[in-house]
Homo-oligomer: A and B are copies of this chain.
Amino acid sequence: MKYCSDCGATVTHKMPEGETRLRFICDSCGIIHYQNPKIIAGVLPLWGEQVLLCRRAIEPRYGLWTLPAGFMENGETTDQAAARETHEEANAPVSNLTLYTVISLPHANQVYMIYRGELPAEDAFSPGTESLETRLFHEAEVPWDELAFHTVRKTLERYFHDRKHGVFPVHNFECPPMTVKLAT
C-alpha cells in the first residue's frame, strides 16, 4: 500500500498512537488502513468411499491436486462461499455441508475453512475454468506426492483417519509454511 484509498495522498507505515502494531496511515487525512487475514472456504466432496479432487489449471501449484476452495466474498456465509467455489472449480452441487477443518496460516494471513459435503451422483462434476481435471479417488489412489497444499493433505489425512472411527469432529489447527518443492 502506497496511497490512501480514501483521499489519494501518500501513506506511511508507522505505529498509531496507543497501538502496538505498524499500520498504513494517510499522511493527509490521517485515516488508518487496517489489513486483516482472509478466509479461504472449500469443500471435501464425498461420493461413497471416494473423495473428489481437482487438478489446478492456475498458479500457484499448476497441475497439482487440490480440494475446491477459494477466497470468501463479502455478502456470503462461509458455507455459501465453500459451495460456490465447489461449483466454480468442479461444477459440483454439494449438499449437507458440515464444517470440518479450520486451519490458520499465519505466515500467509489466511484461514482455511473446509466443509465435508456430499455429491448427488457419481458423475455430478466436471472441470471448471480453474481446473484441468476433476476426479474421484479411493483412499489408496490419492496422489499424496502431487497435492497442491498442506491444508489439503492435512484435511484428507484427518478425514481418512476419522472415517475409520465414524466420528468427524471439527479440527482447528495451525499449518506451517510449505516448503516449495517443484514438481519436475
Contact = CB atoms under 8 A, between A and B. Distances in A.
A104 interface: yes
A78 interface: yes
A32 to B, nearest CB: 12
Interface in A65-116: 71-80, 98-99, 102, 104, 106-107, 109, 111, 113
A172 B78 contact: yes
Contacts of A37: 39, 72-74, 76
Contacts of A78: 102, 104, 111, 172
Given A39-B111, A76-B104, A172-B99, A4 B3 contact: yes
A37 B174 CA distance: 20
B74 A170 contact: no
Contacts of A5: 1-5, 11, 33
Interface residues of A, number: 41
A184 interface: no
A163 to B, nearest CB: 18
Interface of A: 1-8, 10-11, 21, 33-39, 71-80, 98-99, 102, 104, 106-107, 109, 111, 113, 169-170, 172, 174
22 contacts: A1-B6, A3-B3, A3-B4, A4-B5, A5-B5, A8-B10, A34-B71, A35-B74, A36-B72, A37-B39, A37-B72, A39-B111, A75-B109, A77-B104, A77-B106, A77-B174, A78-B104, A98-B172, A99-B170, A102-B102, A169-B170, A170-B170
